[in-house]
Amino acid sequence: MRLLTTIAALRCYLNICRLEDNRLTPEKASGSASSYQSVGLVPTMGALHAGHLSLIERARQENETVIVSIFVNPLQFGPNEDYQSYPRTLDRDRQLCEQAKVDVLFAPTPKEMEITSTPLTQVVPPVEMTSVLCGRSRPNHFQGVATIVTKLLNVVQPDRAYFGQKDGQQLAIIRRLVQDLNIPVEIIGCPIVREASGLAMSSRNQYLTPEQRQEAAILYHALQQAQKAFTAGEHCSEALIETVKKEVATASAVTLEYVELVHPITLMPLEKVEESAMLAIAARVGTARLIDNVILQNRQPIIAIDGPAGAGKSTVARQVAANLGLLYLDTGAMYRALTWLVLQLGIPFEDQCAIAELASQSEIQLVPEVDPEAPQRVWINDREVTQAIRSIEVTSQVSAIAAQPAVRKALVQKQQSFGKKGGLVAEGRDVGTQVFPDAELKIFLTASVQERARRRQQDFEEQGQPHISLAQLEKDIAERDRKDSTRKIAPLQKATDAIEIQTDGKDVAEVTAEIINYYNQRLSRR
């Protein structure tokens, strides 16, 4: 691991990495694309704990290069806040990063980040997002956060940046920042990591005495009580907030600052939970200011089925949806439909600009069939392509189209619009990891290359397609697995909370029953 303290050194390191990525290799010379070396950034203020390490672990899973920044940002501290006393533990943080296999620990000074000069150009998020929750008592905090995060994203230019859900307001503002300023980075929100008592992990927990630490756990317990009330049918903001306040009042050492119910994306205050909401809390315990939140989802469950090509995802997903009375969302068909259209129009696959324009302008419709055995009817730009998208030509090329960033962005937005009210079974290569990361049940469906080749050959024979040998199909499937798992955009990966089901030797009915059993188990615990 490298410890770098200057922007020049960090950019030099990243430039070398990118030059190595672009270097002509024997594989590239023979027409086989080498793996893209993606970069993941974990911005922190140091004093690392298990919550930070969970972000680093996620970044390590999803990227070839992981950069962790440590910068105690003076711009986000108010005049009477704890900037000077904020814990600084660089030596320990360095050891933790080395153990976590971080590639670069970037630890610049305020002077290096050029924030000591005045006047300073700053990024100002929408006032509607900064005037609620923590913004009421910390008026310039999120302006400081937005400015330094923008600088870090510009310096590192990562593919993905990782932030914890504990700072839910910060996460929403950064997502809006990236969207509004068209910064080409994927913002990954990661679950809150908690101590055994339920207290959310925070660097400021170091300020607490053992007794205060125990009392501070009331924050999460109060949110849990509101969550139980919500599950029981209470969706009114006033009642949910009162539940939290009543619980917190039992802890004398805790001084409540706020409890608010807001939209998790826009941060607009809500009177009731319509689809989803963030119930957020802030309080002071001794000298520490602590925050926490829970997400309340007022929707039917979502089942996300991931896995490699040919694992039987679509067949099983249709059966699961039919058995449970849920909508089947064939995300793979959407990518196939666009691939078919690209082929029909004769657009070269390397012309990503033309494909980006096509993806943003095309209208894709999925129409369920009454018979769950029948494929979902697919339309693109008012033309039905249900059977056409199953051709060998489309099958062999869809991975290349799906790997393009603009294609993924356009189709994921449409997929997520289907999921707002839940009640669906979605399948695809990255449905559980990227499209619906908050799905109630995630399944990673897989099978051996040999089994998938056999199934693919059988499908082609039933469709009357030209015969392809098993050896060739096995080679093609193995190559697609390699491409899917090393692609820059949404690589094929098993979600950390997914249940893996190996389908070799199992028929569709057996796999379907297994997933429905997991679904019923999850529902019984809600």
Sequence-separated (6 or more) residues with CB below 8 Å from residue 380 = 337, 338, 340, 341, 362, 363, 364, 365
The string of DSSP letters for 157-200 reads --SEEEEETTSHHHHHHHHHHHHHTT---EEEEEPPPB-TTSPB
For residues 468 and 413, give the distance between their C-alpha atoms in angstroms, rounded to a whole number. 36
Would you state the structure tokens that stand for residue 272, as one six-digit string? 């009731």
Q: How many CA atoms lie within 13 Å of 483's alpha carbon, on the beta-carbon side?
A: 18
- Residues 415 and 364: beta-carbon distance below 8 Å: no
**Residues acting as catalytic residues:** 52
325 Rama class: left (phi>0) / alpha (psi -120 to 50) / beta: left
- Residues 115 and 72: beta-carbon distance below 8 Å: no
**Strand 288-297, strand 276-285: pairing:** antiparallel
**Backbone dihedral angles phi then psi of residue 89, each to the nearest 5 degrees:** -135, 60
Taking alpha carbons only, the member of 399, 133, 156 closest to residue 277 is 133
Q: What is the dihedral of CA 3, 34, 353, 162, to 10 degrees?
A: -30
- Residues 487 and 404: beta-carbon distance below 8 Å: no
Cis peptide leading into residue 372 (ω within 30°): no
**Backbone dihedral angles phi then psi of residue 453, each to the nearest 5 degrees:** -65, -40
With residue 277 as reference, give the H or E element that holds it: strand 276-285
Our CA angle for 38, 42, 43, nearest 5°, is: 135
- Residues 321 and 327: beta-carbon distance below 8 Å: yes
Listed in sequence order, the DSSP H helices in 38-187 are: 50-62, 90-99, 127-130, 141-156, 168-180
Taking alpha carbons only, the member of 164, 161, 210, 207 closest to residue 187 is 161
Listed in sequence order, the DSSP H helices in 249-347 are: 313-324, 331-345
For residues 428 and 333, give the distance between their C-alpha atoms in angstroms, rounded to a whole number. 9
Sign of dihedral through CA atoms 430, 435, 437, 442?
negative
Would you state the structure tokens that stand for residue 160, as one six-digit string? 């993905």
Q: Which residues pair with 104 in a beta bridge?
A: 2, 67
For residues 116 and 111, give the distance between their C-alpha atoms in angstroms, rounded to a whole number. 6
